[in-house]
Structure formats: structure tokens, C-alpha cells
């Protein structure tokens, strides 16, 4: 799942995705363990293999509430959603999937509360002059 998005990698993923019940359940959801490459590469490989959703299983037991599945700068054009779930729940899903039984998985991407304000984080490099120009310009509006 973590190699570059070359045809052989995609074919391997496709072969591991069960085509049973494709008429009943046309949606492919791929489970992948975290690690080995960027989230973007995992999502792109899953998308190219025909997935409608990628569920990434954390590699360690931790609170995933504040884990950000960040873009490595190559995420333009990805059209499927992806989510990170905890290791314990993820391992249960993986073991169930190995049994190749039919199942329905519901994934919800919801905003917990509505607000008229937005909290933002701006990341920049101090080595980039355009970034520094932005920070200086933005400072006028931030206070």
C-alpha cells in the first residue's frame, strides 16, 4: 500500500480487494495500517485501486483525536475520503475483514458544532521569503 502509485502496486492492491458481492455492495472500502509512507500515498493508491473510502488503522494505541492526516504537498486531485481509526478498533475490523463475510460500514464526517468563527493554523517556512512576506502582511489583520 505504501509504494509509489505504479501499476504493479495498484494491481496488487486490486487483487487483495475482494470482488465478491460487487453487485450487492459496489462500494470498496480499503483498510490499511498506518506507517511506511505518507497518508497521501496511501489514499492515492486506494483510490486508484477503486476504493470509495480508505480507513487507516493507527499503528499504536494512542488518542487519535488530535492526529492530523496531513497532506505531504502531493494530495491535489484525490477524490475519496480517508479516516484514521484507533489501533484496537482497527484490528477488530481487519480480523473481521479476513473472514470475508459481508458487512456494512458507516462512516460519518460531521462537524460537531456550528460556529461563526474558524480556528486556523498557518504553517510556513522561515526559509521562504514569500512566507515571510505573508506573515508580515497578515500581522496587520491578526490584531
CATH code of the domain containing 55: 3.50.30.30
> Do the domain assignments include residue 116?
no
Question: Which of the pair, 122 or 22, is modelled with greater confidence?
Answer: 122
Long-range contacts of 8-13 (CB under 8 A, 24+ apart): 9/45, 10/45, 10/48, 10/49, 13/45, 13/46, 13/48, 13/49
Rounded mean pLDDT of 114-142? 76
What is the value of pTM for the model shown? 0.66
Q: Is residue 58 part of a domain?
A: yes
User: Reading across the β-sheet that carries 29-33, which strands appear in turn?
Assistant: 29-33, 53-57, 82-85
Q: How far apart are CA 137 and CA 143, in angstroms?
A: 12
Quick check: 88 pLDDT over 50?
Answer: yes
How big, in percent rounded to 5, are the helix, strand and coil portions of the chain?
A: 30, 10, 60
Structural domain total, the chain? 1
- The yes-or-no verdict on residue 23 having pLDDT over 60 is no
Instruction: Tell me the mean pLDDT in the region 13-26.
Output: 55
Mean pLDDT of all residues in the chain? 80
53 within a domain of the structure (yes/no): yes
Task: Output the pLDDT for position 57.
Answer: 95
Q: What's the rounded mean pLDDT across residues 59-73?
A: 89
126 located within any domain: no
What are the φ/ψ torsions at residue 88 (nearest 5 degrees)?
-60, -50
Task: Say which residue, 114 or 34, is predicted with more confidence.
Answer: 34
pLDDT bucket at 86, cuts 50 / 70 / 90: very high
The verdict on residue 78 lying in a domain is yes
pLDDT at 15 over 70: no
Answer yes or no: is 104 within a domain. yes
Whether residue 18 lies inside any domain: the answer is yes
- Residue 131 reports pLDDT greater than 60: yes
Residue 23 sits in which domain range?
7-110
Amino acid at each position: 500500500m505504501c509504494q509509489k502509485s505504479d501499476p504493479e502496486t495498484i494491481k496488487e492492491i486490486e487483487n487483495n480487494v475482494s470482488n465478491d458481492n460487487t453487485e450487492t455492495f459496489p462500494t470498496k472500502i480499503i483498510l490499511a495500517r498506518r506507517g511506511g509512507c505518507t497518508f497521501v500515498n496511501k489514499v492515492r493508491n486506494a483510490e486508484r485501486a477503486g476504493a470509495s473510502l480508505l480507513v487507516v488503522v493507527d499503528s499504536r494505541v494512542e488518542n487519535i483525536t488530535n492526529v492530523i492526516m496531513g497532506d505531504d504537498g502531493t494530495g491535489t486531485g484525490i477524490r475519496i475520503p480517508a479516516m484514521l481509526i484507533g489501533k484496537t478498533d482497527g484490528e477488530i475490523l481487519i480480523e473481521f475483514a479476513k473472514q470475508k463475510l459481508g458487512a456494512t460500514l458507516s462512516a460519518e464526517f460531521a462537524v460537531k458544532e456550528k460556529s461563526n468563527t474558524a480556528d486556523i493554523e498557518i504553517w510556513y517556512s522561515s526559509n521562504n521569503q514569500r512566507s515571510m512576506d505573508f506573515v508580515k502582511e497578515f500581522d496587520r489583520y491578526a490584531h
